[in-house]
Structure 1
């Protein structure tokens, strides 16, 4: 092969090995350790950040649980307050209703007493009105009416009907 018969090939190969050795030495002792330390620092920072994120998540979960408990407690307290207010309003309304019912019952009793008095007065007057009417009818029909007979007949009729 003619390319291997060049006199400069041996010197090029030697320089290639020298340059390769220098690059290997520089890379292995200076560049790669720095790159390795950067990678290790980065891995440590990522791990620390992940741990911080886990801790933050646990704190957030704890805060969320605390918030849920506080919300549930506040909701229960609000429902208790509403129930108490409703019970108080119901009791107050019931008391006012009882007072009004008592007042209405008193008014009804008074009205019934007035009605009974008026009915009794009307029933008492009905006897005299019935006697006068019957006397007038008998006088018109017969010409003359016996007041005692008419009075007795009206009293019997009213007594049979339960009016007098």
Structure 2
């Protein structure tokens, strides 16, 4: 049907001027409308006031949301982070001070332990020296006592031996005088002669 009409329109060699004039007027009206700026509405100056109004309303709503909702939340988050960081810094300072105190206490205990070890070693050396000196004195005393006892025994044995030697000498002298010389001598005279001879 469209093809037939189009063919029919093409088939008219001359047609009426009213039909051919209508598309030309429509074309001129379109050119005039485009010249007056009726194209894209945001670029049309007659819509600028409404656009500015909606821009102000949108900006106000966004500013109100930013001021009443977004900024308090961001401020609360920043405050919480600040408080958490402050708590962490306080905990770190406390831990550092505790570590410094523990280190100082450890060093002090180590120094005290070293001093105690030195004093114990010194006391052990002195005690060992005192014990050795005491044992030496005890052994010296025992040796002196044994030496004195031995000397006493030697003196007793010597006195006993000398007493026996004197008696033997008196007996031998008496026997010699009786058997060899045929002299009867008194025991006191014989003892005096033996004693004089032993000197």
TM range (shorter): 0.5 to 0.7
Supply the RMSD in Å over aligned alpha carbons: 3.1
Alignment match, 2:160: 111
Alignment match, 1:38: 87
Alignment match, 1:61: 110
Q: Which runs of 5+ in 2 are unaligned?
A: 1-61, 180-199
1:89-148 per-residue CA deviation (whole Å, 9 max, x = no partner) reads 122112212211111001111232344456557768999xxx9xxxxxxxxxxxxxxxxx
Alignment match, 1:81: 130
**Aligned to 1:22, which of 72, 84, 94?**
72
1:73-93 per-residue CA deviation (whole Å, 9 max, x = no partner) reads 101110111121112112211
SS of 1:36's equivalent? helix
Q: Which runs of 5+ in 1 are unaligned?
A: 1-13, 132-164
Q: Select the structure with the greater relative contact order (CA < 8 A; seq sep ≥ 6).
A: 1
Q: Is 1:100–2:137 an aligned residue pair?
A: no
Counterparts of 1:48 and 1:61, CA distance in 2: 19
Provide TM-score, normalisation by structure 1. 0.57
Counterparts of 2:173 and 2:70, CA distance in 1: 146
SS of 2:131's equivalent? helix
